[in-house]
Amino acid sequence: MDLRQEPRGLLLEELTRDGRISNLDLADRVGLSPSACLRRVQDLEREGIITGYRAVLDRQAMG
């Protein structure tokens, strides 16, 4: 079974692409209601699958 076809895998794929996406947009992209989406993201955080959200810096742009 392809994890990307499951809501959990879709959530992880979208959050990897854009960790700052709003819950409403994330829910729309993965085909869940906003409340179900938030609940699943919180479950992923609680289970330790999502361990944080980080800024990725471009050292060259920083000078």
How distant, in Å, are the alpha carbons of 10, 48, 50 from that of 27?
10, 21, 17
Structural domain boundaries in the chain? 3-62
Coil/strand/helix, residue 19:
coil
Fold of 3-62: Arc Repressor Mutant, subunit A (1.10.10)
Residue range 13-41: average pLDDT? 97
Q: Output the pTM of the full model.
A: 0.82
Comparing 3 with 59, the larger pLDDT belongs to 59
Mean of per-residue pLDDT scores for the chain: 92
